[in-house]
Each structure stands twice: as structure tokens, then as C-alpha cells.
Structure 1
């Protein structure tokens, strides 16, 4: 192999998909480049962690709503449902994709709209999650007003996921500006005072894979699905944020 080993080579090596005659060259490169060697080591740790978290999901029965009969019954919505089904399967199979899925961990990945959205979501979280007196614009005591108001501003009926089984209670939300129009932020808080936000805004009508982003230690898990883009943000390790993101996604899809 001539020249510098590419990132594609590193991922193929990690996933056991590299041609045998190239394995030695990649291993020689890693032995001589401590930066790339450390990157591959971190990817391997992430891959192992994801397998530990989600391999058991592969043995679970297929949910009734994802059976062939259920999908066929909803065929008139196929144009919208198929991208969502693909996204759901991608989430369930997350443990199997390893380094490829996390290949852009050093920056923001996805379409331009998704990148802009998660950047705004991270910034909004950093600003408002640390607020003591005014973390939200409308408190959960006015939940019906909050949801109705934000739904009207974003032009669609919004769902507010219940994260109380995961230890996070809704404390309220706010309206935010975005390049595509208004955006909404719902804020949750744990009993220890840790805050988590769900950011959503109008997207481009498409769908993207689920991805992580990081900004100064704050993690985000984001995706685009139909008319909306979503980002769940918290100062949590990825292995703790991922189950929360999965809970949010599954509730939004009901």
C-alpha cells in the first residue's frame, strides 16, 4: 500500500473487511502513527460498548407495528413510513455497525441542514440548561399551553416524550429562532439536577441516519425524520445518552 493509509482503510481494518494483503500495511501504519492508533483504539472501545448495550435487542421479537402485515396495512403512507422504518432499523442495529456509524466523531456529520440544526441545538442547550431562575419560557405547570403554543408556531401537533421512566421529568420549554423558522426546546431534569433538552425544528422533508455530535464535552444525538429534525442533548457519556435518545425516537414514532 503506497502513501498514507486512509480513514476508509482504518474502518475496514476495524470491521474485519480489509483485504488480507492490505492488513499488514495498515498494521505497520498504526505501529508508526500513534494518533491513528489511538483513534482506532477508541473506535474499538465504542464498538464493544455498543455491542454490550444493544446485541440483546437483536434477539427481541419484531414489534407488531413493524410486521409485514402492519406495514402493508399502512401502504398508503409508504412514502413517509419507509424512511422512518429504515431509521428505526438503523437504531436497533446500531450495535452491529461499529466504527462506520461513529466515523465523524471529531466533528458534525450529516447533511447541511442536519449539521446546522445540531449546532443550534447544542448552543441552545449550553445557554439555557445552566440557567437557574429562567431555564424555560413556559413551565410544565402550563403544559397544555406550552404544547399548543409551540405546535401552532411550528405548524404541526408536537409530541412531548415522557422520560420519567428514565429518571428525567419535564420542567418546561421555550420557542427559539432557527434559520428554517421557529424551533422548540423541551427541557427535562433528573433528581440530581442534571438537565437534558430535546430540540426540534422544521427540516427538509428527508431523513438522515442517527448520529452523535460533541461540543466542548456536551453530547448530542440527532436525526432528521420527515418534516422535522430532532436533537437530544445532555452533558452525559454517549452510552448513557443513547438509551434516552432511543426512548425519545420510539415515542415520537407512535
Structure 2
């Protein structure tokens, strides 16, 4: 007996954890046989994770008294304005996450932008933070190539980025390399290296080679939701170290990364 075709609504239900257990195995088998569809599902999941990471902290904030005391008409106006901001952000996020998923994803991203969302290029820190919140919580597949194949990982990522890159050694600071993966950037591939300490705390180093027109070489800090990011530019390279650890501790790790990357291999 042939299986029922997997529908678009079922894919969304699968992403949201709402698909029946009796159907889950069939959908997972379908995704395993259709990498393009699996890529779309991964993009939908990434969007959900990033939205939660950026907006969940707001749910715990108390409502300002000046808003609760406002006249009803003003309150409705503020609610509509806030809803508009959320919709605009969600549309922009959808466009970003679908970038690189394939022709269908690119077409959908273009349609979202055409629908009125402002087209803005994400900053290096913002891109790195999104990649961090998407992949660092993953228990089974946090990386594409593990640290046990570090030579292959370095060769592969260097070839794809078109320039030699290598993961810094952070063992003296308590962080060991887990591995890395290839990600889509604004105009080409970028690399992500992931590290972990004995307490399962993870850091990610985002490496981009898209900085040819960027003259800002200063060392900077950014808070992206709950993620702290130290980032800097070195020639065509852009580096961003992300984690949910204390800013001072992350600064020490970032300094160690900077020192190693500033030296020839």
C-alpha cells in the first residue's frame, strides 16, 4: 500500500511538532529522500528558533504603566503599530532564512521582499548570532563535519571560501572544537566553527570573506537578543564570536581567537 503524498501543511505541522506520531516516520523518510525539501524544513525551523531567541525575553518584561493607563484609542493604535513591526520583522527573517535554500526558496524570499518588508543587509554580528541560535542548541547534528575530521574540515571550508582558514585552539580556555559547517552568507559561503566546554556551553566562530568593501577594522561588541557577540574585520575577513556566556569571559576568548588568527599558521 503506497503512502499518502506529503503535503505543504504537513511539513509546517512537522516543523511545529504537531504532526501525528503515526505520520512522523513517513515524513522523515520523505525528507531523507528529498534533500531540497529537507532544506526548506531546516529553514523554517531556523526562522522559528531565531524569532523565539529574539522575542521570548520580551514576554517577561512588565508592561509600562504609561501604556496600561493610556486611553483605549491610543492603546489600540499602539497594538496595531506593534503588530506591524512584528510582521515586518518576520517577513524580513523569512527572506533571509530562505536565502540559499534553492530556486523555490529564492522565489519566495523575493516575493516576501516585494510585499513591503524593508530590504536591509544584516550586519556581521546579526548573521553570526542567528547562526549561533540555530545550530548551537542541536544535540545530534550541531556540525556538518566533526573535530575528529579536522583536516578534512579545514580543507573543505578553505576550498569553499576560496582562501585558507583554520579554527583557533581554545583548549587552554576550556573550549574544545566540536567541528564546523558551511553556511550561506550575503553573497557567498561563510564558515562556522563550534566549540564546547565541559559544562556543554557552546561558542561559535563565524568566518566571512565578504568584507572587501568594509573599511571598519575596529573590535566591536553587540548584544543580539540573549546572544553576546564580539566581532571584527581583518582585510576581506569578518570574524564574529558568539555565545550566551558573560561578556567579560567572551571578551577573553575573543582576544585569544584574535591573537591566533593574527599569526601565520
Give the corresponding residue for 1:252.
261
Q: Given the two structures, how large is their TM-score scaled by the length of structure 1?
A: 0.54
1:167-190 superposed Cα distances (whole Å, 9 cap, x missing partner):
000010000001120000000000
Alpha carbons 1:203, 1:224 under 8 Å: kept: no
Instruction: Look up the match of 2:206.
Output: 199
Equivalent-residue separation in structure 2 for 1:124 and 1:117 (angstroms): 11
Which of structures 1 and 2 has the larger relative contact order (alpha carbons within 8 angstroms, sep 6+)?
1
- Name the counterpart of 2:235: 226
- Within the alignment, does 1:160 sit opposite 2:164 as a pair? no
Match of 1:187 in 2: 194
How much is the aligned-residue C-alpha RMSD, in angstroms? 1.4
- The CA deviation at 1:222 is 0.4
Unaligned runs of 5+ in 2: 1-119
SS at match of 1:219: strand
Which residue is equivalent to 2:136? 129
Deviation string, structure 1 residues 110-138 (Cα, Å, up to 9, x no partner): xx97x622111000000100001000010
2:25 is matched with which residue? none
Give the secondary structure class of the aligned counterpart of 2:123: helix
Q: Structure 2 CA distance, aligned partners of 1:123 and 1:243?
A: 22
Show structure 1 runs of 4+ deviating over 3 A: none
The answer to whether structure 1 residue 145 and structure 2 residue 152 are counterparts is yes
Match of 2:183 among 152, 176, 184: 176
Match of 1:235 in 2: 244
1:212 corresponding residue in structure 2: 221
- Return the alpha-carbon distance in structure 1 between the equivalents of residues 180 and 219 of structure 2: 24
Do 2:188 and 2:210's aligned partners in 1 also have CA atoms closer than 8 Å? no
**What is the CA deviation profile of residues 184-215 of structure 1, one whole-angstrom value per residue up to 9, with x for unaligned ones?**
00000000000000001113334421111112
**Residues 226 and 207 (structure 1), Cα distance of their counterparts in 2 relative to 1, 3 Å cut:** farther
- Written as runs of structure 1 = structure 2, the 5 A alignment for 1:106-125 is 116-125=123-132
**Cα separation, 2, equivalents of 1:217 and 1:118:** 13
Superposed, 1:12-27 pairs within 5 Å as none
Is the contact made by 1:170 and 1:186 (CA closer than 8 Å) also made in structure 2? Answer: yes
**What TM-score does the superposition give when structure 2 sets the normalisation length?**
0.52
